Amino acid sequence: ENVLTQSPATLSLFPGESATLSCRASQSVRSYLAWYQQKPGRAPRLLIYDASYRATGIPARFSGSGSGTDFTLTITSLEPEDSGVYYCQQRSDSLAFGGGTKVEI
């Protein structure tokens, strides 16, 4: 089973700052890594797919990088609306979700 570990568990930042979220896979997922944003009471929303491609309608402030086992989601110029929980998901070896990083702005 390919386990995804996200860090940190919680990130508290101010508007205008940048956030760096990490997702580490126990085995290589090549570039088949996606990121989702979930706001309280809402469904997850696809942000990034295949490590670095923004989904439709996602602002350029969101960017993804990495391959193999180590991936990063970077959010620049943070806005209050960016608060929520961010999940990574791999689809290389079956599929699995990480445990999430809570971002507080």
> What's the closest the beta carbon of residue 71 comes to another protein, in angstroms?
15
Pick the closest to residue 71 from 12, 19, 4 (CA basis).
4
State which of residues 11, 19, 35, 44 lies at the interface with another protein (CB under 8 A).
44
> What's the closest the beta carbon of residue 55 comes to another protein, in angstroms?
7
> What's the closest the beta carbon of residue 89 comes to another protein, in angstroms?
7
Nearest 5°: the CA angle 104, 30, 74 is: 25
Exposed, middle or buried by CB within 10 Å (0-12, 13-18, 19+), for 35? buried
Joined together, the tokens standing for residue 13 give 């930042």
> What's the closest the beta carbon of residue 17 comes to another protein, in angstroms?
27
Per rule CB under 8 A, is residue 89 in the interface with another protein?
yes
Instruction: Report the relative pairing of strands 19-25 and 70-75 from DSSP bridges.
Output: antiparallel
Q: Which stretch binds another protein (CB under 8 A): 16-24, 59-67, 68-76, 87-95?
A: 87-95
Per rule CB under 8 A, is residue 61 in the interface with another protein?
no
